[in-house]
Amino acid sequence: QVHADISYLSQRYDSFRFRLVDNILEMKYIEGIFGEMARNNFDLQFFLEVKSNLTKQQIKSLARGGANVIQPGIESFSLNQLMEMDKGVRPLQNILCMKWAMYYGVEVNWNILIGFPGETDEDYHQQIQLIKLLFHLPPPECVGDLWLERFSPYYTRPEEYGVAITGPGEAYSYVYDSEDIDLFRIAYDFEFTTKNEIDPGLKKELFDTAEEWKRRHQSDELPYLIFTKSMNFVTVYDERSIGNPNKNRFEGSPAWTIVFCNESPKTMDQIKKHVQELGAEEGAAEKGVLQLEKMGILYGEKGKYLTLALPHNANL
């Protein structure tokens, strides 16, 4: 049915471009619809709203099937804030989505949201430090405050989250000036307060860091973090920091770990098993992971590790 609808609309309106909005793409459509379009080499282009818990293969199928822009709902790299949003994803999954979308040439539209009940200064500090490691990936469009919308958990259960709804959105009184209209009943977004007291300096640092991220991608100082693989070693090229390009060559356990954790996150047990099968000594896996984490080449979260660098190889 979806194929038939797209075919009909493309023919009727003489268009190759489609924008699917308001609904997150069903996972079954990724291979069923976009995989099929990829196999037929159609020249259609799609904007899609998706969840960020996509695999490398799913992103590849979307890209090959015509998805050139996605909006994956990446709204934070703070684990605590994502839990407060009840997003059902972790920072690690957001990073994986951005990494492979960039690799396959898919534009990513996303924002950083702040102002959630329950967020802390430490959440801001952790997120600032992490996004500095992600400057080689697509930057956010902006940093903005949370909107409280009707039917959301914050609206239906505000007391559960420590939210106090203070009235309808500020704009409604300017649009509807009749006293006969109950603005609270017609409003879709609302003003609210929480008990949070975040350090203004941390908010400014987050805004400034995000702006610098955007500026770098709009300048000649494009940041990068890539790795190349030979038979016996891996080289990582890193210019996430301005004027400080680094080239680091790895052999043995660190090199094997970079390649092994490239496609998807791996546990320490999986990494140990892998590098020992390749001839690493006892304890080499832990030392290699620690070294790569300190260098910001590997990101670890709750016992799983992902290579942040993009592969130079274009045939994955």
CA nearest to 262, candidates 301, 194, 308, 198: 308
Between the alpha carbon of residue 172 and those of residues 87, 113, 180, 191, 203, the distances in Å are: 29, 23, 13, 11, 28
**156: which DSSP letter?**
H
Is a pLDDT exceeding 80 seen at residue 155? Answer: yes
Q: What pLDDT, on a 0 to 100 scale, did the predictor assign at position 28?
A: 87
Is a pLDDT exceeding 80 seen at residue 85? Answer: no
Q: What pLDDT, on a 0 to 100 scale, did the predictor assign at position 22?
A: 67
Is a pLDDT exceeding 90 seen at residue 105? Answer: yes
pTM over 0.85: yes
Is a pLDDT exceeding 90 seen at residue 84? Answer: no
Q: What pLDDT, on a 0 to 100 scale, did the predictor assign at position 47?
A: 95
Locate the domains of the chain by residue range: 225-311
Using one digit for the tens of pLDDT, what is the confidence trace for 233-261?
Answer: 999 999 999 888 999 999 999 999 999 99
Kindly write down the DSSP assignment for every residue of 29-85, as one continuous string: HIIIIIIHHHHHT---EEEEE--S---HHHHHHHHHTTEEEEE-----S-HHHHHHH
Q: Which pairs with CB-CB distance under 8 Å and at least 24 residues apart come from 15-20?
A: 16/43, 16/44, 16/45, 17/44, 17/45, 17/46, 18/44, 18/45, 18/46, 18/47, 19/46, 19/47, 20/46, 20/47, 20/48, 20/49
CATH architecture, domain defined by 225-311: Orthogonal Bundle (1.10)
